[in-house]
Amino acid sequence: MRSTESLRDFCQGLPKAELHLHIEGTFEPELLFAIAARNGVPLRFPTVEALREAYAFTDLQSFLDIYYEGAGVLLHEADFFDLTWAYLLRAAADGVRHVEIFFDPQTHTDRGVPFATVLDGIERALKRGEDELGVSYGIILCFLRHLPEDAALATFEEARPHLHRLVGVGLDSSEVGFPPSGFQRVFALAREAGLHVVAHAGEEGPPAYVYEALDLLRVERVDHGVRSIEDPALVRRLVEGRIPLTVCPLSNTALKVFGHLRDHTLAGLHEAGVVVTLNSDDPAYFGGYIAQNFLETAVALGLDRATLATFARNSFEAAFLPEARKRELMAEVDAFVAG
């Protein structure tokens, strides 16, 4: 048994999948400055430290404003490769064995960067990660919900020649005022094309948005979903349907969804029987990669190692992977826990 090892080492070594990770949110200030310099893109922050100091968020929108600004220095295939490769090195060191990466093509195509440039760079790094680090992957295209559905439909048509390279579509960006119901047509097209579907819902938005994501978009997982606990019937529905939540604890405290990790609803959701997974969301901005999310959550909520191992098994259950690969990865969790 692994009783003598530190909790930090346990959290890092535990095999896991990361299912809620925005690749643009892994942009560390040092890399951002390096890519801005090589691309000749001016920044309004004089130093890495000054940029980091601006990461004092009050809500989701205050984060998104700076996140989109940072993504503005990404221009070339090599930029998307470097960004993704840097993330994969961190993730592999944190015990990540499978990753499903979100990317926001509209953030880039609206600046004139071709869709294929973005996808080519991300995918090249992921292929290398699979070969050299043993981390399998899926790519999820997210539509920006603060833009009209027509823009999402145009993006989907742009993506059509590349759909075989994607595992699914998602919905992100500003939540309140932009409910899932506005994106039914584009999600129907994605489902018809055989893609998996997920959506951010119930992060800042009410349980009604989670219902809309389930009933109108027919999502298979809910990203965040932490406000679901306000509605016992919704919790029952998540439990009975084994609909996973991709919870991001450090994101939720950084964006003031909860005042403190000890106030987080994930333990209550887990105890109610919901398939909870832990993820880092935008780790360069929220103070930690996935193992740090496991560690700080365990400490704040008093979760034992068996519960953390359950979250890891849940992440493989919730992944868009063939059953055989899921079983193989879950066996890795069992072997790790047994020491």
Binding positions for Zn ion, rule: CB under 5 A: 281
Q: Supply the minimum distance, in Å, between the C-beta of residue 284 and Zn ion.
A: 13
Residues 151-190 that bind ligand HPA (CB under 6 A): 172-173
25 binds, among Zn ion, ligand HPA, none (CB under 5 to 8 A by kind): ligand HPA
Q: Structure tokens of 312?
A: 């890891």
Q: Supply the minimum distance, in Å, between the C-beta of residue 63 and ligand HPA.
A: 7
**Residue from 319, 318, 141 nearest 238 by CA:** 318
**Per CB under 6 A, 94 contacts ligand HPA:** no
Residue nearest to ligand HPA (CB): 172
**Per CB under 6 A, 100 contacts ligand HPA:** no
**Residue from 100, 65, 66 nearest 84 by CA:** 100
Residues 6 or more apart in contact with residue 87 via CB below 8 angstroms: 21, 23, 26, 101, 283
The residue from 16, 22, 108, 196 that contacts ligand HPA (CB under 6 A) is 22
The residue from 31, 51, 60, 125 that contacts ligand HPA (CB under 6 A) is 60
* Nearest to ligand HPA of 210, 321 (CB atom): 210
The residue from 97, 200, 227, 326 that contacts ligand HPA (CB under 6 A) is 200
- Residue ranges of alpha helices (H) inside the chain are 7-13, 29-39, 48-53, 60-71, 77-93, 105-109, 115-133, 149-159, 184-192, 207-215, 232-240, 249-254, 266-271, 283-286, 290-301, 305-318, 323-338
* Nearest to ligand HPA of 4, 58 (CB atom): 58
Q: Structure tokens of 71?
A: 């993504």
Active site (catalytic) residues: 203
* Nearest to Zn ion of 126, 245 (CB atom): 245
**Residue from 304, 240, 242, 232 nearest 267 by CA:** 304
* Nearest to ligand HPA of 122, 321 (CB atom): 122
Q: Supply the minimum distance, in Å, between the C-beta of residue 182 and ligand HPA.
A: 15
**Per CB under 6 A, 252 contacts ligand HPA:** no
**Per CB under 6 A, 251 contacts ligand HPA:** yes
Question: What type of residue sits at position 72?
Answer: G
Q: Supply the minimum distance, in Å, between the C-beta of residue 51 and ligand HPA.
A: 17
**Per CB under 6 A, 25 contacts ligand HPA:** yes
Cα 5 to the center of its chain, rounded Å: 28
| Torsion-angle region of 194 (φ positive above 0: left; ψ -120 to 50: alpha; else: beta) | left
**Per CB under 6 A, 282 contacts ligand HPA:** yes
Give one DSSP letter per residue of 298-320, joined into a string: HHHHT--HHHHHHHHHHHHHHSS
Give one DSSP letter per residue of 269-300, joined into a string: HHHTT--EEE--BSHHHHT--HHHHHHHHHHH
173 binds, among ligand HPA, Zn ion, none (CB under 5 to 8 A by kind): ligand HPA
**Per CB under 6 A, 281 contacts ligand HPA:** yes
Q: Supply the minimum distance, in Å, between the C-beta of residue 69 and ligand HPA.
A: 13
* Nearest to ligand HPA of 10, 286 (CB atom): 286
Cα–Cα distance, 164 to 114 (Å, whole number): 18
Which residue ranges make up the site for ligand HPA (CB under 6 A)? 22, 25, 60, 172-173, 200, 203, 251, 281-282
